[in-house]
């Protein structure tokens, strides 16, 4: 939708912006119009799409480039609105440009709010060294982080769900004399691994805010990068990190 709105804005720039007996101009004839509406919208779309394609977020002027693109899209729609209602000689280019700018701003704002629109265009980065979780480097079969054969997360030889007896964070570490991690410190023997959730579960911010920042969906693999008390710090496919508080029944890849 973002790309389609940008194409619509580009096409509108070649149509008549003003259409009256005294003036018949395209957006390219009016520098302020083409820069603040059409090119601003196209640049906003490029920033949003680029942010979704990158495995890790990038910043521009202290903001994630996706956030910068959203702000630029809203600015283009706001400017187009005032040109439209402030003059009675709107041409096809001005009307079509307004529609494209509003569609672009709406899609840009809806993306971080609607879970179905949040998956990245490129999946989360895969580690370079092949190694099964809990196995030896160079072992054949599935590589580290590769969800080739999902099984309940637990100890070797007796697969169990995450959080059960014998699993990481359970009774086995205590029996070995290893101190359990508190609510803020990661477990010292933790190694990142890929996992999937059995049902949709909220992902909360690392700052402890009560509102979820994302929702983990079943059938999608996520990277656990740290243990946080009884929960896991997980990384989504678009590079965001948060705390999965409910780890019951997760499947390890």
pTM: 0.44
Claim to verify: residue 7 and residue 95 sit in the same structural domain: yes
Q: Are strands 63-64 and 151-152 parallel, antiparallel or unpaired?
A: unpaired
The residue out of 93, 113, 133 marking a domain boundary is 113
Q: Which two structure tokens, joined as six digits, stand for 206?
A: 């690392």
CA 28 – CA 38 distance, rounded (Å): 9
- Which residue ranges in the chain fall short of pLDDT 50? 124-146, 149-161, 163-187
Q: 158 and 98 in one domain?
A: no
Q: What is the per-residue pLDDT for 11?
A: 92
User: Is residue 122 included in any domain, yes or no?
Assistant: no
Structure tokens at 179: 């101190």
Whole-number pLDDT of residue 21 = 60
Q: Which domain holds residue 25?
A: 2-113
**Domain assignment of residue 58, yes or no:** yes
Angle at which helix 2-12 crosses helix 40-53, to 10 degrees, equals 160
Residue-wise pLDDT tens digits, 99-130 = 998 998 988 888 777 765 655 555 544 444 44
Tokens of 32: 């302020």
97 falls within a domain: yes
Of 83, 113, 143, the last residue of a domain is: 113
Query: CA separation (Å) from 192 to 144, 188, 206, 252?
Result: 9, 12, 17, 11
Confirm whether 128 is domain-assigned. Answer: no
> Which of 113, 137, 164 lies at the terminal end of a domain, its last residue?
113
Q: Is residue 163 part of a domain?
A: yes
Tell whether 141 is covered by a domain: no
Residue 174, domain member (yes or no): yes
């Amino acid at each position: 939708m973002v790309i389609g709105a940008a194409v619509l804005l580009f096409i509108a720039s070649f149509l008549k912006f003003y259409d009256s007996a005294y003036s018949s101009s395209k957006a390219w004839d009016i520098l302020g119009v083409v820069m603040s509406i059409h090119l601003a919208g196209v640049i906003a779309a490029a920033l949003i799409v680029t942010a979704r394609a990158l495995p890790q977020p990038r910043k521009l002027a202290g903001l994630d480039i996706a956030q910068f693109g959203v702000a630029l899209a809203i600015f283009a729609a706001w400017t187009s609105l005032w040109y439209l209602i402030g003059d009675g000689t709107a041409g096809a280019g001005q009307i079509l440009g307004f529609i494209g700018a509003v569609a672009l701003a709406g899609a840009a704002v809806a993306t971080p709010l609607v879970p179905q629109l949040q998956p990245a265009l490129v999946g989360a980065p895969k580690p370079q060294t092949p190694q099964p979780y809990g196995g030896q480097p160079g072992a054949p079969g599935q590589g580290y982080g590769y969800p080739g054969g999902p099984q309940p997360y637990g100890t070797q030889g007796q697969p169990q769900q995450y959080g059960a007896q014998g699993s990481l964070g359970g009774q086995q570490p205590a029996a070995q004399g290893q101190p359990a991690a508190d609510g803020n410190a990661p477990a010292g023997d933790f190694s990142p691994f890929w996992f999937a959730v059995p049902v949709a579960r909220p992902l909360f911010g690392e700052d402890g805010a009560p509102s979820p920042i994302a929702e983990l969906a079943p059938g999608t693999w996520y990277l656990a990068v740290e243990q946080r008390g009884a929960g896991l710090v997980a990384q989504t496919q678009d590079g965001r990190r948060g705390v999965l508080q409910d780890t019951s029944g997760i499947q390890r890849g």
